[in-house]
Amino acid sequence: MADAPLTLHAYSARTGKHLGRLPYTSCSWSDSISEPGQMQAEVAMGSASAALRRLDPYELLRPWRTILAVQRTPAEVKHAGVITSRKWDPATRTLSISAGGGWTLLGKRLVLDHALDTAFHDGDVLVDEDHPAGHWALTFDGSYRDIAVGLLRESMTWGGLPISLPDRQGGDHTRTYYGWDLATVADRISDLADLLDGDEIRFNPQVDSSGRLTFAFESAPELADHHWRWTASVPGQRVRLTGYQEDGSGMCSDVWAVGGKNADKTVMARAARDDLTEHGWPVLQAKNSEHTTVSELATLKHCAAAQAWYGAGMSETIGLSVGEEYDVHVGDWADLRVEDDFLGDRRLALKITDVKGSSDSDWLDLQARPRAER
């Protein structure tokens, strides 16, 4: 178990500069693979220091202006994200704060060429994907990570964000984004993660030697910082099996996807797999109507194939609790040995998809899914 106490800090959402330390009565957070994550905190203003009062908490902790970070040491940031809402209770002198995660800020950035900042004029815009007018098209190529980095870099030309970007990888993928869709950067990065061959994505919060917080953008086909080996039945290992569930709502073997419309035409794609039918399931058909801004057939086919791939798998979720001394990150692998009335005596090869923590406990709550053996 860790010795250093958990502390709560405020940082600038523009620069990552440290603004102050906050007294808190409770704090909880959760992270999910290729998702922003979230945090809840309660700040007890009755115990606030004179230094914090001089910082003017009313202005300091405004939504979208300040990032909250819970950390055990500067080098061990458990979670960080921009404040999205707050609620003050004068009777108890308690401020309740909700915050997002690393890419929550990108929900407030649109996929637009920065040249439009000066070139745009109110009026009609010609929507022509073959011959886009002005600066309405942005094209990025390389790996999926390179494309995401291109989106982020262009977004940051509109105004600074505390995000650090990796070097170019290179690759043969190309994506063109049209400004008139007014899609958010968060959604377009999520689209890349949803592809069948897409990357897993994280915005990893880090505090440097000068005390500045940045989110390191990480994107790879497999994000796994650790490969844990646990036995749930061994006393003292602080590993417990807490639950198992399987939800069949997303299972499918025949996906029909609809994309964007152009005049009187609509692009459509289909993806079918035999994994389920070969093992006794009937044909399970599903629609995919979540990509109505996609106009390229190849992109829509990737989306349909991804849904068919995941739909042909078992939607199993394994719940675990482990001691906080295990520095578990979303994306990690774990081999778990269980002896259970339902699961039997077996080793489960798992991928950690969700990590939840709280200042009230020295245990982490994990969710995992089965991973393919390699």
How does DSSP assign 290-336, residue by residue?
S-TT---HHHHHHHHHHHHHHHTS--EEEEEEEETTS---TT-EEEE
On the CB side of 209, how many CA atoms lie within 13 Å of its CA? 0
Please, which pLDDT band fits residue 121 given cuts at 50, 70 and 90?
Answer: confident
What ranges in the chain are assigned the alpha helix state H? 50-54, 57-60, 116-119, 144-156, 185-194, 297-311
pTM: 0.84
129-178 residue pLDDT tens: 777 777 889 999 999 999 999 999 999 999 999 999 999 999 999 999 99
Residue 252, SS3 per DSSP: coil
Whether 1 shows a pLDDT value over 50: the answer reads no
* pLDDT at res. 50: 65
Read off the pLDDT of each residue in 36-64 and give the average, rounded to a whole number: 82
Read off the pLDDT of each residue in 189-198 and give the average, rounded to a whole number: 88
Whether 2 shows a pLDDT value over 60: the answer reads no
Taking phi over 0 as left and psi of -120 to 50 as alpha, with beta for the rest, 20 belongs to left
* pLDDT at res. 141: 96
Please, which pLDDT band fits residue 263 given cuts at 50, 70 and 90?
Answer: low
Token pair for 335: 């081999």
Residue 10, SS3 per DSSP: strand
Closest CA to 254 of 309, 204, 214: 309
Residue in the structure block whose two tokens are 């393919």: 372
* pLDDT at res. 44: 79
User: Mean pLDDT over all residues of the chain?
Assistant: 89
Find out whether 173 and 143 touch, Cβ atoms under 8 Å: yes
How many whole angstroms separate alpha carbon 152 and alpha carbon 240?
39
On the CB side of 139, how many CA atoms lie within 13 Å of its CA? 6
* pLDDT at res. 284: 94
Whether 48 shows a pLDDT value over 70: the answer reads no
Whether 100 shows a pLDDT value over 60: the answer reads yes
Distance (Å) of CA 146 to CA 80, 179, 217: 24, 19, 11
Whether 357 shows a pLDDT value over 80: the answer reads yes
* pLDDT at res. 271: 93
Read off the pLDDT of each residue in 38-59 and give the average, rounded to a whole number: 79
* pLDDT at res. 61: 93
Percent of the chain scored above 70 by pLDDT? 95
Most confident option among 120-129, 219-228, 290-299? 219-228
Of residues 150 and 340, more confidently modeled? 150
Read off the pLDDT of each residue in 176-195 and give the average, rounded to a whole number: 90
Token pair for 90: 């004068």
Closest CA to 220 of 314, 331, 130, 297: 331
Closest CA to 65 of 77, 50, 82, 52: 82
In this structure, of 61-70, 158-167, 211-220, 246-255, the range with the lowest mean pLDDT score is: 246-255
Q: How many CB atoms lie within 10 A of CB 260?
A: 17
DSSP letters along 77-131, please?
EEEEEEEEEEEEETTTTEEEEEE--TTGGGGG-B---TTHHHH--SS-----SSS
206-233 residue pLDDT tens: 999 999 999 999 999 999 889 999 998 7
